[in-house]
Amino acid sequence: MDLFAQISADTPSALSRADGLGTLKAFLPLAGKHYAAERNFDKGRGQHLSVSWLSAYIRRRLITETEILQAVQARHNFSSSEKFISEVFWRTYFKGWLEMRPSIWSQWLTEMPAGLADSRYLQACSGKTDIACFNEWAAELRETGYLHNHARMWFASIWIFTLELPWQWGAAFFMQWLRDGDPASNTLSWRWVAGLHSRGKHYLACAENIEKFTQNRFAPYGALNEGAMSLTGAEPPLAVEPHWPALPARKRYVLVIHGEDCHPESWTLAGAPEAVIVLPSWMGNLVLDSQNRLRDRGLDRLEDTALADTAGRAQAHFDCPVHLLASSEGGAMDEMDIAMLARQISALASQYDVQNMTTSYLPVGAWRQNFATLADCLAPENIHIDQVIREYDRSCWPYAKRGFFPFKENIPRWLRDFS
Ligand SMILES: Cc1cc2nc3c(=O)[nH]c(=O)nc-3n(C[C@H](O)[C@H](O)[C@H](O)COP(=O)(O)OP(=O)(O)OC[C@H]3O[C@@H](n4cnc5c(N)ncnc54)[C@H](O)[C@@H]3O)c2cc1C
């Protein structure tokens, strides 16, 4: 078995930058014409050999978009790798789009928990429907934390238009299990399938397409609603650009790392930190109600491995003390836990005699919400936290005000700027 086949057959139990770079290296030869021709085929578990398998690493920025784009450009010309490059920019587009319309995320968070105890939701998630392919994808997602992009599209479409379940519940099921679960890519993809993103343009799964792209593994003729109308809903709010942070003034500070960006080596910082604090992964999860969290605790444990890997690299890179704050396995992850974390951080600030902390920009999502509570707890201690934003995000995100196609026109310029 070649290296890439081996990588895609495994579901790694830990995430590290070295493994992300290894996956990228093994995939690179396939990122050109092969990807463009083969990427839509879902050959089943362990056989996802024509897509990169990089999403769990990119999601946490164990490897960055710019590194991937540079590596692809060094290996392939633009015309053969355009398809792969534009998929990477789909992520960038969704991140920017949500960043300028955060209420889409908060509204989903309030609408979604009501469905989680509904018997129709539970039946669909446990793969107890009459649609064999849907049942298999539900099981693959729960058991491996991954679904091929085409399967995600078919699954979401069947969920919304054949099973007639709310898209918000389906997005919750994905967030519960996806190893790459991302507030922007997930919420907005579900809205895109429903016809709420490009309004009126929905994605309808059809048996013929499923038969072709699963290579005859499934052929759900007669089982799908192939004539459904798009969902209708309110116009999305107008895009409002937030205040993108400026580089903080040079002063003594402690660097704080969270799971949204695990490559502090490439952050633009004003001088060297006195020490580094790495936050625990539960800060990237949310308690929804007494029964449910935003994501399975197994994903917290996976993210802790990424954070531990980052702590090790930070030690070598910044050559200063690094404090990896422990994850509380049984913790409630509520405001009391965050207050306790704030006390630990405040004690470290005193130890290093600093009142300034710097972290990377927190995009819309659970990490940002919990971090805001943490910052509120630290404010009375006169601890001030600056955020630094990557030049890539600052440059690209503001162009996500409309659809992907006008956004995409900028790709050649961004490739020049970031190569
Ligand atoms: C309903 C639905 C939900 C989704 N939820 C998520 C999610 O929570 N997190 C997530 O990262 N992606 C999500 N996607 C997008 C896409 O399915 C995954 O990014 C992709 O399948 C990851 O596998 P890969 O790394 O092998 O992809 P590749 O095809 O190798 O793509 C390379 C990278 O480009 C980005 N990318 C590719 N396709 C898309 C896309 N359509 N939208 C946004 N970014 C893309 C990802 O970062 C991916 O790692 C969702 C798509 C749908 C239809």
Q: Is 276 left (phi over 0), alpha (psi -120 to 50) or beta?
A: beta
pLDDT at 12: 81
Q: What is the number of the ligand 1 atom nearest to the C-alpha of 93?
A: 43
CA angle 180, 93, 402 (to 5 degrees): 140
Closest Cα to atom 49 of ligand 1: 55
Task: Give the whole-angstrom CA distance, residue 163 versus residue 120.
Answer: 9
Task: Give the whole-angstrom CA distance, residue 27 versus residue 7.
Answer: 9
Measure 90 CA to ligand 1 centroid, in angstroms. Answer: 8
Determine what percent of the chain is predicted with pLDDT higher than 90.
89
Q: DSSP label at 293?
A: B
Topology adopted by domain 3-100+401-417 = 1.25.40
Task: Give the whole-angstrom CA distance, residue 351 versus residue 256.
Answer: 15
Task: Flag whether pLDDT at 123 surpasses 90.
Answer: yes
pLDDT at 5: 72
Task: Flag whether pLDDT at 411 surpasses 60.
Answer: yes
CA atoms within 13 A on the CB side of 2: 9
Question: What are the residue boundaries of the structural domains of the chain, listed by start?
Answer: 3-100+401-417, 103-213, 254-388
Tell me which of 24, 185, 197, 198 to substitute to probe ligand 1's pocket, judged by most ligand atoms within 8 Å of the beta carbon.
185
CB contact at 8 A, 303 and 279? no
What is the pLDDT averaged over residues 180-184?
98
Task: Flag whether pLDDT at 289 surpasses 90.
Answer: no
Query: Which residue is listed with tokens 């990557």?
Result: 390
Higher per-residue pLDDT: 11 or 7: 11
What is the pLDDT averaged over residues 145-163?
98
Single-letter residue type at 32: G
What is the pLDDT averaged over residues 35-59?
95
pLDDT classification of 101: cutoffs 50, 70, 90 = very high
Closest Cα to atom 24 of ligand 1: 53
Task: Give the whole-angstrom CA distance, residue 368 versus residue 203.
Answer: 31
pLDDT classification of 301: cutoffs 50, 70, 90 = very high
pLDDT classification of 7: cutoffs 50, 70, 90 = low
- Name residues contacting ligand 1 (CB within 6 A): 39, 51-55, 58-59, 87-88, 90-91, 94, 149, 152-153, 156, 174, 178, 180-182, 185-186, 189-190, 193
pLDDT at 40: 97
Measure 180 CA to ligand 1 centroid, in angstroms. Answer: 8
Please identify, in words, the CATH class of the domain defined by 103-213: mainly alpha
Q: DSSP label at 288?
A: -
What is the pLDDT averaged over residues 29-44?
97
Q: How far is CA 306 from CA 20, 69, 200, 285, 309, in A?
A: 10, 22, 39, 15, 5
Higher per-residue pLDDT: 202 or 328: 202
- Which homologous superfamily does the CATH classification assign to the domain defined by 254-388? HUPs (3.40.50.620)
Closest Cα to atom 18 of ligand 1: 149
Two structure tokens written together for 180: 């790459």
Q: What is the number of the ligand 1 atom nearest to the C-alpha of 147?
A: 21
CB contact at 8 A, 145 and 179? yes
Measure 320 CA to ligand 1 centroid, in angstroms. Answer: 36
Task: Flag whether pLDDT at 77 surpasses 90.
Answer: yes
Measure 130 CA to ligand 1 centroid, in angstroms. Answer: 27
Task: Flag whether pLDDT at 1 surpasses 60.
Answer: no
pLDDT digits 0-9 by tens, 162-176: 999 999 999 999 999
pLDDT classification of 249: cutoffs 50, 70, 90 = confident
pLDDT digits 0-9 by tens, 322-344: 999 987 666 667 888 999 999 99
pLDDT at 248: 87
Single-letter residue type at 281: S
CB contact at 8 A, 129 and 163? yes
Closest Cα to atom 5 of ligand 1: 186
Single-letter residue type at 234: A
pLDDT classification of 72: cutoffs 50, 70, 90 = very high
Reduce the DSSP state of residue 228 to 3 states and report it: coil
Closest CA to 167 of 100, 104, 80: 104
CB contact at 8 A, 94 and 184? yes
pLDDT at 65: 98
Q: What is the number of the ligand 1 atom nearest to the C-alpha of 182?
A: 8
Measure 23 CA to ligand 1 centroid, in angstroms. Answer: 16
